[in-house]
């Protein structure tokens, strides 16, 4: 298998995913996802996406997502999960990121995947016949270079694309659960029933709630392990 395909499989593929140029499936038959993508369709929004990525690392202590540019989709941040999570959690994570860091942008310019009715995504890199340009993964330091003309004139080098992805780490389940709890906690003084400020308490509540599916309670228990010595 080519190195680029191996890196895509390591980070984003679900079991049985066909190789590019086949569309990328974001949600499996079991309703779970491990590839979360947040996109901004206009080049002038690059700074907003760059700030969001910095906050993901600095405030949530998560690995940096891969970044891509596309003549049709604009900029995209690709988050990889080490283990799939239910799509509801994936959607909640992306919604919370948008709410906290992209609220000033028109909703029509912000695109999250997966979301209802959007479980399929074009792979990267790929050629767009309408524009005659290519999508590609990019170095974060080069993001502003594509603000006026998203995409590449020439096909990106597959080996270099693979090398960029090789530096991307998947988000561990425990870290994802902690970050999701942090993102979705109520503002100080407004917590109601079921809303927890402490990520440990949030996970503990899920683990002890008999109305929650057993699989999700087990996941919460695993996510709690780093909190206990």
Q: Please report the pLDDT score of residue 205 as a whole number.
A: 72
For the 3-166 domain, the top CATH level (class) is alpha beta
Neighbour count for residue 27 (Cβ, 10 Å):
21
> Are 175 and 199 a contacting pair, CB within 8 Å?
no
Q: What angle do CA 173, 51, 185 make, to 5 degrees?
A: 45
What is the value of pTM for the model shown?
A: 0.82
Cα dist. 106→38, 45, 121 in Å? Answer: 14, 11, 22
3-state secondary structure (DSSP) of residue 25: strand
Q: Please report the pLDDT score of residue 149 as a whole number.
A: 85
Comma-separated ranges of CATH 3.90.920 domains in the chain: 3-166
- Over its length of 229 residues, how does the chain's per-residue pLDDT go in tens digits? 699 999 999 999 999 999 998 999 999 999 999 999 999 999 889 999 999 999 999 999 999 999 999 999 999 999 999 999 999 999 999 999 999 999 999 999 999 999 999 999 999 999 999 999 999 999 999 999 998 888 999 999 999 999 999 999 999 999 999 999 999 885 544 344 444 445 666 677 777 766 566 766 777 677 766 655 4
Q: Please report the pLDDT score of residue 84 as a whole number.
A: 96
Q: Please report the pLDDT score of residue 201 as a whole number.
A: 65
Q: Please report the pLDDT score of residue 218 as a whole number.
A: 76
Cα dist. 195→189, 202, 206 in Å? Answer: 11, 7, 11
Q: How many residues does the chain have?
A: 229
């Amino acid at each position: 298998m080519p190195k680029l395909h191996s890196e895509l499989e390591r980070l984003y593929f679900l079991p049985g995913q066909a190789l590019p140029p086949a569309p990328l499936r974001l949600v499996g038959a079991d309703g779970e996802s491990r590839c979360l993508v947040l996109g901004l369709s206009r080049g002038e929004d690059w700074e907003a996406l760059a700030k969001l990525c910095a906050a993901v690392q600095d405030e949530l202590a998560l690995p940096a997502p891969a970044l891509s540019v596309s003549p049709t989709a604009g900029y995209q941040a690709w988050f990889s999960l080490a283990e799939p999570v239910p799509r509801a959690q994936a959607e909640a994570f992306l919604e919370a990121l948008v709410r906290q860091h992209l609220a000033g942008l028109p909703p029509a310019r912000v695109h999250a995947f997966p979301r209802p009715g959007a479980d399929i995504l074009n792979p990267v890199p790929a050629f767009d016949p309408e524009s005659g340009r290519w999508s590609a993964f990019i170095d974060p330091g080069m993001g502003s270079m594509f603000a006026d003309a998203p995409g590449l004139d020439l096909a990106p080098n597959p080996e270099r694309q693979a090398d960029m992805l090789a530096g991307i780490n998947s988000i561990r389940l425990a870290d994802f659960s902690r970050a999701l709890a942090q993102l979705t906690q109520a503002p100080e003084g407004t917590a109601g029933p079921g809303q927890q400020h402490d990520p440990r308490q949030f996970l503990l509540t899920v683990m002890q709630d008999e109305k929650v599916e057993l699989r999700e309670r087990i996941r919460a228990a695993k996510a709690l392990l780093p909190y206990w010595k």
